[in-house]
Amino acid sequence: MDNAISLMIALPLLAAVVAFFAGRLAKYAALIGSLVPLAISLQMFQEFDKTSNAMQFVESYDWVPALGVKYTVGVDGIGLPLILLSTIVSILVVVYSWGEKTRSNQFFALLLLNEVGVLGVFTALDFFLFYIFWEVVLIPMFFLIGIWGGPRKDYAAIKFFIYTHVASLIMLLSIFGLYFSYRTPEGMRTFDMMTLLQATGDSTIFSPMLLNLIFFGLLFGFLVKMPAVPFHTWLPDAHVEAPTAGSVLLAALLLKMGGYGLFRIVMPMLPNVSSHYITLMAVIGVISIIYGGFLALAQKDLKKMVAYSSVSHMGYVLLGAGALSVLSVQGAMFQQFSHGLITCVLFMSAGTIQHTAGTRIISDLGGLSDRMPKFAVLMLAGFMASLGLPGMCGFVAEVSVLAGAYQNLPVYVLIVIFGGIAVTAGYHLWAMQKVMFGPILKKYLDLKDPHSYEILSMSILILLIIYFGVQPATITDIMGVAAQPLVDPFTAIAQAGVI
């Protein structure tokens, strides 16, 4: 497909402009503007050479030649699954939000702008372009929280912006460190991502101290975005105050930008910086799994519980990357994809309960399955997927990470992780039992299943969760091919006796 990526990015941007001026028809512009990118991503997935780890569908044009800036985009096995995830989630969020009445034209325009940003991040192969898209994503999320959020929306929006923007600025300093340290054979500076990452292996260009500073600046930016412990404190406030659509996009897509940065940028740099830093990533991952799980267990607010569960689940991404086996890295990539689908259902469930019952406090709920049977089935399926029920994609992802980690990590680390898994099962089952089962309170006797568009969007997600749980190879084969070249340099170092 010629110019497929550019079309996929440009069409939601055009639709966002149309939606902004379309008034009550904005949701139709958003539906079309998110449907076309989904069709393009599916076609790209169909045409993608699943046996190659090379960049495909590459487009490259000079943008600011004097500065070495190009518009270069492309996809491989790291980016394509996240592109597919982004287009799926974006259109389902539009469907779920079909009944939005408050400033709906601006609301749907911001949803589309968010899609533009994440698609750009997952396809950019020029650091300058990558950073622009990275920052673009902050804009719609800031306004979604600040305008359509809860009682403390101003505080949450500002905290979200400051935390993530400061991390982005530190990341930008690292990008400039790469840019000003290297010249092409023609004497030109460049922002080309692949060229600069390859150049980090040349000790005559990058001193060890400079390379370490660049590496930690990039790693910090990505860990804050994931977020990993101890950089997670902005996330609960943002989730709790954000509207349901904002929470879904934040957890399903924005957090994945951090994981994507690990695989696209950090891991290719690691062998040239210090192979021992990979252990640090694994340790942070284990801490995030355990600590995030206990924080989720302590919550009274259903939405806040789901927010902390994301911290725990994203810990598997760090653990898989740090375990340094093809299976664990492949599992970490699949965890990004599967968590993106599963967390949509969880936040949609919390949002629906808030809209219908008027509260998210777990102890104030009970017996809702009697009045909302269709919704109860979907919520139960989402919670089972999140705790890792076999037959669903979350199980495949986490087992792949743990099986891969078993090859390279001490057994006691895995024992600790299994404790985290038990905690995960505990807070999911406890919340589900409290919310959906038991005696129903009188004030909830008049409740009924939510609107059909909410049921539809959640149903599609559950079907996808089951499909990728039963047929994971549909997408994990692509990830495995991409994982191999990430792991090979570390394998060579280990064989040389350095690790």
The pLDDT tens digits of the residues spanning 332-352 come to 999 999 999 999 999 999 999
Mean pLDDT of the chain: 92
Of 319, 346, 321, the C-alpha closest to 421 is: 319
Question: Within a 13 Å sphere around the CA of 315, how many CA atoms are in the beta-carbon half?
Answer: 26
The DSSP secondary-structure symbol of 265 reads I
306 in Cβ contact with 244 (< 8 Å): no
Percentage of the chain exceeding pLDDT 70: 98
Name the percent of the chain lying above pLDDT 90.
Answer: 72
Q: How many CB atoms lie within 10 A of CB 280?
A: 13
Lowest mean per-residue pLDDT among 185-199, 234-248, 379-393, 411-425: 411-425
pLDDT score, position 278: 83
Question: Residue 336: enclosing H or E segment and its boundaries?
Answer: helix 326-357
- Give me the pLDDT at residue 412, please: 66
Between CA 233 and CA 226 the distance in angstroms is: 11
Whether the per-residue pLDDT at 324 is higher than 90: the answer is no
The pLDDT of residue 33 is above 90: yes
What pLDDT score does 498 carry? 54
Region of poorest pLDDT, from 21-30, 52-61, 307-316, 414-423: 414-423
User: Is the pLDDT assigned to residue 499 strictly greater than 60?
Assistant: no
As given in the structure block, the two tokens for residue 151 are: 């009682």
Give the pLDDT band (50/70/90) at residue 143.
very high
Element (H, E) at 61: strand 56-64
Residue type, 361: I
Higher pLDDT, 199 or 462: 462
- Contact call for residues 223 and 261 (beta carbons, < 8 A): no
Give the mean pLDDT of 368-385: 93
- Of 294 and 202, the structure prediction assigns the larger pLDDT to 294
What are 85-125's pLDDT values in tens digits? 999 999 999 999 999 888 999 999 999 999 999 999 999 99
pLDDT score recorded for residue 490:
80
Average pLDDT over residues 235-243: 92
Note the pLDDT of residue 327: 93
pLDDT for res 418 = 81
Q: What is the DSSP string of 148-174?
A: H--TTHHHHHHHHHHHHHHHHHHHHHH
pLDDT per residue over 394-424, tens digit each? 999 999 999 988 877 777 677 778 888 889 9
pLDDT for position 496: 67
Q: Which residue has the higher pLDDT, 269 or 45?
A: 45
Helix (H) or strand (E) holding 72: strand 69-75
